[in-house]
Chains A and B, each alone.
Chain A
Amino acid sequence: MNLTDPLAENPASPGAPVFHVHGVSKVYHMGEVAVHALRGIDLDLYAGELVVLLGASGSGKSTLLNILGGLDVPSSGEVFYLDHALTAASEEELTRFRREHVGFVFQFYNLIPSLTALENVALVTEIAPRAMPPAEALELVGLRERRNHFPSQLSGGEQQRVAIARAVAKRPDVLLCDEPTGALDYATGRIVLEVLARVNRELGTTTALITHNAAIAGMADRVIQMSSGRIVTTARNTRRLTPADLSW
């Protein structure tokens, strides 16, 4: 609680938070063993900011992201998206929440193999209320020329960029990225990060990015360090680096 307090006073974090997480714990029961994935998390995410969640595997960052994305529910505590309590939402409401407000970028892209790049984007824009044209989204990630290629004809980095285009095309309020560069080499990973930074900058999409790669933290507004289900530190970067300046 204390750790996040100073951030509320930060002038770069305007008004009410997009996400308000309060006292969230998550316990998994594996047989007779109880695994505490999250222990009393308090966190606010603000409109337009880019947050990096850092931590080793098992630190609870993915669980937290899943809860924010409406894929999982906490064992205790509350999660608010604006004034909607996600913790009280039904399965159908969570689906609608994901559909209308959240963009996901997966570690392994998870594109539909039977659809071309453009169609993968269009699949999502068709069900979103205020989506941008799919071609525009591909333009945004620099893949205009590759739009009629199938995933199997694209490199890993290209696939991830299509996945980002798919995630942002519906103009989500929040973009949740789970290890988006985890499966990519350095150069490709950097291109992907540049795309994410650009989306955040140009569309103002609140972005939460999970990584175990501390070097990436430099591009964030805020860096949240997690360990053993707790938030250990929260730090604000005084200056956001561009992905080109990052190295690992």
Chain B
Amino acid sequence: MLLRDLWHQRGQLLAAALVVACGIASFVSMRLTYESLLAARDSYYRVHRFADVFVHLKRAPDVMAQRLREIPGVAEVHTRVVMGVTLDVPGLAEPATGRLVSVPDRRQAMLNDLFLRRGRYIEPGSTEEVIASEAFAAANRLDVGDRVGAVINGRWKSLRIVGIALSPEFIFEVGPGALFPDNRRFGVLWMGHQALASAFDMDGAFNDAVFGLAAGAVVPDVLSRIDLVLERYGGLAAYGRDDHVSHRFITDEIAQNRISSTWIPGIFLGVAMFLLHLVLSRLVSLQRTQIGLLKAFGYGRGPVSLHYLQLAGATVSLGVVLGTGAGLYLGEGLTALYLDYYRFPALPLVFSPEVVGAGVGLSLVAAGLGAAGAVARAFELPPAEAMRPERPSSFHPGVLERTRLRRLLPPAGRMILRSIARRGWKSVLSALGIACAVGLLVLGGFFMDTLDYMLRVQFQDVQRDNVTVYFNQPGSAAVQHDVRHLPGVLHAEPFRTVPARLRFEHRSRRTEVTGLDAGGDLYQLLDRRLRRVGLPADGLLLSRKLADVLQVGAGDRVTVEVLEGERLVRSLEVAGVVDDLVGIFAYMDRAALNRLLREDSVASGARLRIDVRQSAQLYDTLKHMPAVAGSIFQEAALDSFEQILDRSLRVSTLINVVFACVIAFGVVYNGARVALSERGNELASLRVLGFTRREVAAMLLGEQVVLMLLAIPCGFTLGTWVSWFLSIQLDTEMYRVPLVLTPASFAFSALVVIAAALVSGIIVASRINRLDLIAVLKTRE
């Protein structure tokens, strides 16, 4: 009997099973990805000893390392030389930016230890051997034995790659000043300490240190003590893991995974619960007589109820099996996608029986709750009552009768509306299910639209240059002049950036003060409506986020502690805020900044607009220009980012569409099938009375159409709310994520769901052809 019922209800139960499968698949894949990322990160950090605190400085003698070691809470200090250089990579037109990081000449355990993927460690004393980061090597198809050119302290040098490695410090490898990874044009190269120090005249000195902390160390205390020790050596503020770019990205990603692995499966299981309830309630109604008969024959309430529980259980089991399989497959795919962005020695999908167990448990709970109503009815139905046919559905004058709407509607329209009203909360839940499907798609659209918007604003409206060059040292007027006259440069705008801590009352933030030329065009400060904000002659413009964090507004005076050179401390007025999308910055007029720093008209770099026809010559010159520490090529960087992005967006869109279709299909299919079953007699009567199949199908599916029409705007609203909520969640000091949704995204969401509903509608409508017109003349509902 169980098998027979399963077979008879196969379409509807399968639809419910598929929804369960999607729930489990999303739960298992996201949760396993979450656990895998977490496990991979933690074991990587542990085995390769990721540092707790980081600091960069101008130059300190090696003896200062001992002073740092003595700071309470510090367990270990590793000092090193870190330098930015311009690289000439074979096969790459533009110069790349390299970060040279010194490593001990003989391999020894250290903080941020390398994971050597291929090749070997450097030979002690070698001046040309380097170990390249895997992401950079892979993007440029470099391998052990290949060479890259570098401008090291003004001298051209050929470096030989002897090994390919990864470091826990660079899981997310993003260059200075860049907004996202561009592994072709930015890479880390590890070089022997002796060789690197000599090349940059840093013998007996260091300009970077990383720290391991003892258990129980209080990070802010340690940071301020480090700053105190290094102040006279040009120390930039020390920071903990929380401000470490790579760590921050990977940790945010993991946190997001955890959140989405909770609510997305929740939607599916909720919908599955509702579908099971629909199918089983209808089944109990149809099988009243059978139930009565069984009870009359002496079967207890238990076995009868158990039957329906088993139906739900069987459905969910199928969903669990399909979903777990799909979840593992998707999990593999997701972790593989993560390797595009994050570099781990390995990111195996951790198979956690607990996660699968939890998925199964949750589904069974959903099945139980979904079946509960139907089971309770079967349980309570007295045998005599059960053997009488169910009372015909009764209708009473309702809202429709009290409104003018009634007169406007033809009888068929009234049938549809009354039927929806009579089904009450079931109609609401159906609409809600469809709305969830729409909302899911809207949410997918939000990610794409917002990303599009952010990239467009950042790279068309804000950064309007083709190339940004960074100087090794603040460049004098002469250097600026040289840059202006590089081949192909149409227009150059120097800028000055200086690390600084901004303080207001007890609140402070470490940031950069950027000096821009008034009237410049290549970097625009914009307000929320993308209108240009002019630089004040004096005073600061702050990122809105920075102003929020410091709780300052126009007219307030903030203390600016410059973290470079003479470490001047000045009080400046906040002239206004700007709505930038990335980072937290303070902007001012470059001349004013130069005056503040008591320096001539120097610049930290320049933004260039170039004649692309002459780019090859420009690139060649930049590759060998000693004053330039690095360059960013906006278009190339954007292209490579979009390539990576494209892959993950395509995958996530596909998954989203499949999930939404399964929900929409499941809800509409089950709704229509139940309606067909409940109203089969009525519809067959209409066929006898001369209504065509098409007309009858319209009456059957009209209910679903109306629910859909109600659900779509609800889905739009729901999707917009969740998008809005996420845009607030994602609004950090690193990024601001504005809520952007294009009409195309709404249209796409609606169309996908309508298409899925249409398919299920057509399948159900085909059953109208099978209505038995003769039986209806003789049977009583």
Chain A contacts to B: CB under 8 angstroms: 62, 66, 69, 71-72, 92, 95-100, 102, 104, 106-108, 110, 112-115, 119-120, 122-124, 126-128, 148, 150-153, 166, 178, 183
Query: CA A123 – CA B394 in complex, angstroms?
Result: 19
User: Is the pair B410, A126 in contact by a Cβ cutoff of 8 Å?
Assistant: yes
Contact between chains at B682 and A62 (CB < 8 Å): no
Q: Which residues of B contact A151 (CB under 8 A)?
A: 392, 395
Q: Which of B411, B414, B682, B693 is in CB contact (< 8 Å) with A113? A: B682
B681: A residues at CB distance < 8 A? 110
| Distance between B388 CB and nearest chain A CB, rounded to angstroms | 15
Pick from B393, B419, B774: contact of A66, CB under 8 Å = B774
Complex contact A115–B778 (CB within 8 A): no
A114 is contacted by which of B422, B685, B693, B777 (Cβ under 8 Å)? B422
> Which residue of chain B is the closest to A94 with respect to CB atoms?
B690
Q: Mark B412-449, 1 if CB is under 8 A from A, else 0.
A: 10110011001000000000000000000000000000
CB distance A106 to B776 under 8 Å?
A: yes
Does the CB pair B779–A114 fall under 8 Å? no
User: With the chains together, A112 CA to B415 CA distance in Å?
Assistant: 8
Q: Are B396 and A99 in contact (CB under 8 A)?
A: no
List the B side residues contacting A183 at CB < 8 Å. 780
Determine which of B412, B682, B690 lies in contact with A110 in the assembled complex, contact meaning CB atoms within 8 Å. B682
Beyond the given pairs A106-B776, A126-B411, 11 more chain A to chain B contacts, judged by CB atoms under 8 angstroms and listed by A's residue number, are A102-B690, A110-B681, A112-B686, A113-B393, A113-B395, A114-B414, A120-B411, A123-B412, A150-B394, A153-B394, A178-B778
A-side contacts of B422, CB under 8 Å = 114
**In the complex the two chains form, is B415's CB within 8 Å of A115's CB?**
yes
- Given A100-B690, A115-B414, A127-B690, the answer on whether A72 and B392 have CB atoms closer than 8 Å is no
Chain A residue at minimal CB-CB distance from B681: A110
Complex CA–CA separation, A110 to B774 (angstroms) = 13
Distance, CA A62 to CA B692, complexed state (A): 23
Q: How far is the CB of A121 from chain B (nearest CB, A)?
A: 9
Give CA–CA (A117, B686) in the complex, Å: 15
Nearest A residue to B687, CB-CB? A95
A104 touches B689 (CB 8 A): yes
Taken together as a complex, chains A and B put the C-alpha atoms of A128 and B690 apart, in Å, by: 9
For A99, the chain B residues whose CB sits under 8 A away are: 689-692
B397 cross-chain contacts in A, Cβ below 8 A: 148, 150
CA distance A71 to B684 in the complex (A): 11
Tell me the complex Cα distance, A72–B693, Å. Answer: 16
Query: Which residues of the partner chain B approach A108 to less than 8 Å between Cβ atoms?
Result: 778-781
Bound complex: CA A97 to CA B688 (Å): 10
Chain B contacts with A in 391-409, Cβ cutoff 8 A:
392-397
A110 in contact with B776 given A98-B688, A127-B690 (CB within 8 Å): yes
Q: A127 — which chain B residues lie within 8 A by C-beta?
A: 690-691, 695
Asked if B773 is at the interface (CB within 8 A of a chain A CB), the reply is: yes
Q: For B419, what are the chain A residues with a Cβ–Cβ distance below 8 Å?
A: 114
CB distance A152 to B394 under 8 Å?
A: yes
Residues 223-269 (chain B) with a chain A CB within 8 angstroms:
none
Are A66 and B687 in touch, CB under 8 angstroms? no
- Complex CA gap A96/B695 in Å reads 12
Which one, B410, B682, B780, contacts A112 given CB within 8 A?
B682
Whether B411 lies near A123 (C-beta < 8 A) is: yes
Q: How far is the CA of A66 from the CA of B777 in the complex (A)?
A: 9
Distance between A137 CB and nearest chain B CB, rounded to angstroms: 14
Nearest-Cβ distance from residue A52 to partner chain B, whole angstroms: 17
Q: 1/0 per residue B198-211: CB within 8 Å of A?
A: 00000000000000
The answer to whether B774 touches A71, judged by C-beta atoms less than 8 angstroms apart, is yes
A–B complex contacts, Cβ < 8 Å, 29 sampled = A62-B774, A95-B687, A95-B692, A98-B688, A98-B690, A104-B688, A106-B685, A107-B778, A110-B681, A110-B688, A110-B776, A112-B685, A114-B393, A114-B395, A115-B414, A115-B415, A115-B418, A119-B414, A120-B411, A123-B411, A123-B415, A123-B686, A126-B410, A126-B411, A150-B394, A152-B392, A152-B396, A153-B394, A178-B778
Q: Select one of A69, A122, A123, A126 contacting B688, CB under 8 A.
A: A69
Beyond A66-B774, A71-B773, whether A110 also contacts B685 by CB under 8 A is yes
Cα(A152)–Cα(B396), bound, Å:
8
Residues of B within 8 A of A62 (CB): 774, 777-778
CA–CA, A92 to B393, complex, Å?
Answer: 31
Docked pose: A62 CA to B686 CA in angstroms: 19
Q: What per-residue 1/0 map shows which CB atoms of B652-687 lie under 8 Å from chain A?
A: 000000000000000000000000000001100111
**CB-CB < 8 A to A120: which residues of B?**
411
* B64: min CB distance to chain A, Å: 87
| B418–A114 touching, CB < 8 Å | yes
Cα A71 to Cα B778 in complex, Å, equals 13
Closest to B391 in A: A152
A166 to B686, CA, bound (A): 11
> Size of chain B's interface in residues, with CB distance under 8 A?
34
Digitize B346-363: 1 where CB-to-A-CB distance is under 8 Å, 0 elsewhere.
Answer: 000000000000000000
- Cα(A113)–Cα(B678), bound, Å: 12
B258 to chain A, nearest CB (A): 48
Nearest residue (CB) in B for A128 is B690
A114-B418, A119-B411 as given contacts; A92 in contact with B692, CB under 8 Å: yes
A192 to B136 CA separation, bound complex (whole angstroms):
91
* A114: chain B residues within 8 A (beta carbon): 393, 395, 414-415, 418-419, 422
Q: Using Cβ atoms and an 8 Å threshold, which residues of chain A touch B411?
A: 112, 115, 119-120, 122-123, 126
Find the A residue at minimum CB distance from B412: A123
Q: Which residues of A contact B781 (CB under 8 A)?
A: 108
Q: Is the CB of B691 within 8 A of A113?
A: no
How far does the alpha carbon of A66 sit from the alpha carbon of B690 in the complex, in Å?
A: 13
Docked-complex contact B778 and A113, CB < 8 angstroms: no
A62–B412 Cα distance when bound, in Å, is: 29
Given A114-B395, A152-B394: A107 and B415 interface contact (C-beta under 8 Å)? no
Top 3 nearest A-B pairs (CB, nearest first) are A99-B690, A152-B394, A110-B685
List of B residues within 8 angstroms of A97 by Cβ: 690
Q: Flag B687-714 by CB within 8 Å of A: 1 or 0 each.
A: 1111111010000000000000000000
* Closest Cβ neighbor of B401 among chain A residues: A148
Interface centre among A62, A97, A127, A151 (most CB of B within 10 A): A127
Residues of A near B392 (CB, < 8 A) are 113, 151-152
Residue of A nearest to B780 (CB): A108
Residue in B414, B419, B693, B695 whose Cβ sees the most chain A Cβ within 10 Å:
B414
Q: Please, which residues of chain A bring their CB within 8 A of the CB of B418? A: 114-115
B778 vs chain A, min Cβ distance (A): 7
Contact A96 B690 (CB under 8 A): yes
With A and B bound together, what is the CA distance between A151 and B682 in angstroms?
13
CA distance A34 to B397 in the complex (A): 50
Which residues of the other chain, B, contact A153 by a CB distance below 8 angstroms?
A: 394, 396
A92, A102, A113: residue with the most chain B Cβ atoms closer than 10 Å: A113
Does B690 contact A107, Cβ atoms closer than 8 Å?
no
Within B740-778, which residues are at the interface with A (CB < 8 Å)?
A: 773-774, 776-778
Q: Find chain B residues with CB under 8 A from A112 CB.
A: 411, 415, 682, 685-686
Is the Cβ of B690 less than 8 Å from the Cβ of A71?
no
User: In the complex, A108 Cα to B781 Cα: how many Å?
Assistant: 9
Give Cα A107 to B396, complex, Å.
24
CB contacts (< 8 Å) of B693 on chain A: these are 95
- In the complex, A102→B690 CA distance in Å? 8
Q: Which residues of A contact B780 (CB under 8 A)?
A: 108, 183
Q: What residues of chain A lie closer than 8 Å to B415, measured between beta carbons?
A: 112, 114-115, 123
When distances are taken between beta carbons in the complex, the residues of chain B under 8 Å from A150 are 394-397
B777 x A178 contact (CB < 8 A): yes
Q: What chain B residues lie within 8 Å of A98 (beta carbons)? A: 688-690
Look across to chain A and name the residue whose beta carbon is closest to the beta carbon of B394: A152
Could you say which residues of chain A place their CB within 8 Å of the CB of B688?
69, 71, 98, 104, 106, 110
- B393 and A107 form a contact (CB under 8 A): no
How far, in Å, is B393 (CB) from chain A's closest CB?
A: 5
Complex: A72 Cα to B412 Cα, angstroms = 26
Question: In the complex, what's the smallest C-beta–C-beta distance from B419 to chain A, in angstroms?
Answer: 5
Residues of A within 8 A of B410 (CB): 126
Q: Which of A95, A119, A122 lies in contact with B690, CB distance below 8 A?
A: A95
